[in-house]
Amino acid sequence: MSQKPLRLLAAAVVSASLALTACSAPESTASVSEQDATSEIAVAMTELIEQHSSAPEFTPPGPAVDTSALKGKTIAIVAIDLRVPTLADVVANAKVAAGLLGLKVTVFDAKSQATLMRQGMQQAIDNRADAIISDGLVMQVVADQIKAAKDKGIPTIDVVNSPPVADVPGQGSDPNIFGNVSPDAELGGQLIAAAAIASTDGEAKVQIMNTSELTAAPAIVKAIAETIESCDTCEVISTTDTALNDWSTQIPGLTATQIRSNPDINFILPIYDAMGIFATTGVQQAAATGKTRVASQDGSPAALALVKQGDVFVANVAKSSAWAAWAAVDQAMRGMLKMEPANPVLPVRFVDSAALKDVDTSTSKSVDEALFGPAYQDGYKELWGLS
C-alpha cells in the first residue's frame, strides 16, 4: 500500500459505485464466461479463466499448529488506514479467528501517515506483543521497525500487500518479515488480461491502468502486458500511471480521454478494482458503453456490484479479505511457536456477471460467503485443533 493519504478514497469509491449502479442499465451482452471463443489464444484464455472460476478448495498451508500454549498471547495489528474497507475487513476477521483461540488482538490505525506507521510498529514492540500483523503498511517505511521486532523475537506478518514468494526470507516481502499472505500477483494479472482476450476472441486492444507506487504493481502490470503480448492479434495501446490519491479525480477523465484519442481501445485493465469503478465512469463519459469494457481484480463489493450488471465492468479476480485474515493469524501463531512459515499464497476466484447473478454484493461478508464459502474456516479450525 502507499504512504500517500487515503482519506477520501473509500468514500469516493462508494459514491461513484452508487451513482453508476443507479444510472446504468445492463446490456444484453454475454458474460465473459459465456463468450464464444474461436481463436486458439481465446480458447486458451477461456480455459485459464475456467480453472479459477470456482470457489477455491482449502489446502492446508502447512502442518497442524498446537495452539494450546498460545492462549492469552497478543497479536498487534498495525493498519495503514482502516478507512479502506479491505483493510478493515482483515482486522475484523482476524479478531474473530484469534478469539476462537483465546488470543488477544490490539489494533493501531496509522491513518496513512508514515510517522504513525512507525509509531504503531514501535508501540507493538514496546508493549511486548507476541506477534505483529502489518495490514497494508509500506515495507520501506517500517523496515527498521520490522527488523527491531525480529531482533526482539517478535514475528511480523505482511498481509494483502506484497506479492508472495515461497521459500525465501520474507516470502516476497521485507526479508525480516516472518510470513506473508497475499494473492499471486502474476496470476491476477494473467486473469485480467485473459478476460480481455477471451471477450474479444483474441482481438484485445487494451489500456493498462497502473499505480506504480503500490507494492504489487510491477508484478501485476508485467503479467498483464506479457499475457496480452502472447496474443499476436492483441495490443497494449497505452499504459497510464495514476497516483493512488488521484484515483477519484483523475481516472474518469483520463479514461475518457484515452478512449477518444485511441478509439480502438476495447478494454481498460486497471490493476485494482477501485480504479475500475472510476474507469467505468470514464467509459460512460466517452459514450463507449458496449464498445469498451473494464476488467480488474480485488473483489471489493462496490466493484462487484458493477460487474454484476455486466455492461461496462465485466470481470473481476476476487480475493477474500476474511481468508487473508485467518491465514495471517495462522502465520502469526507459527511465528510465535518458531515453526516454519506457511504457504503465503492467498487463493483467488474469477467472477463475471453470470457468477454474480444470485450474489448479494452489498457487503464484504455476503460476498465472501457466496464466493468462497466456509471451507477455509473449517480447514483452519481443523488445523488448529478446534474441530
Reported as a pLDDT band with limits 50, 70 and 90, residue 8 is: very low
What per-residue confidence (pLDDT) applies to 29? 54
C-alpha distances out from residue 39 to 35, 52, 187, 197, Å: 12, 21, 22, 10
Distance of CA 68 to the CA centre of its chain: 32
What per-residue confidence (pLDDT) applies to 85? 82
Domains of the chain: 18-55+185-319 (3.40.50.2300), 67-183+321-349 (3.40.50.2300)
Instruction: Report which DSSP code applies to 153.
Output: T
What per-residue confidence (pLDDT) applies to 30? 61
Q: Is the pLDDT of residue 16 over 70?
A: no
- Average pLDDT, stretch 203-221? 95
The greatest distance separating any two alpha carbons of the chain, rounded to the nearest whole angstrom, comes to 63
C-alpha distances out from residue 264 to 96, 236, 267, Å: 48, 11, 9
Query: Which pLDDT tens digit goes with each residue over 225-255?
Result: 999 999 999 999 999 999 988 999 999 999 9
User: In whole angstroms, what is the distance from residue 119 CA to residue 113 CA?
Assistant: 10
User: In whole angstroms, what is the distance from residue 9 CA to residue 15 CA?
Assistant: 10
Q: Is the pLDDT of residue 4 over 50?
A: no
Beta bridge partners of 240: 209
Q: Is the pLDDT of residue 12 over 80?
A: no
What per-residue confidence (pLDDT) applies to 33? 62
- Average pLDDT, stretch 22-37? 56
Among 84-93, 130-139, 312-321, where is mean pLDDT lowest?
84-93
- Average pLDDT, stretch 140-145? 97
- Average pLDDT, stretch 219-230? 98
What per-residue confidence (pLDDT) applies to 20? 63
- Average pLDDT, stretch 168-189? 98
Q: Is the pLDDT of residue 5 over 60?
A: no
* Angle at 125 (CA atoms; ends 120, 128), nearest 5 degrees: 125
What per-residue confidence (pLDDT) applies to 360? 98
* String of DSSP letters for 348-361: EEEEETTTTTT---
What per-residue confidence (pLDDT) applies to 38? 77
Q: In what order do the strands lie in the sheet with 313-319?
A: 235-241, 205-210, 267-270, 293-298, 313-319, 348-352
At residue 75, the 3 state secondary structure works out as strand
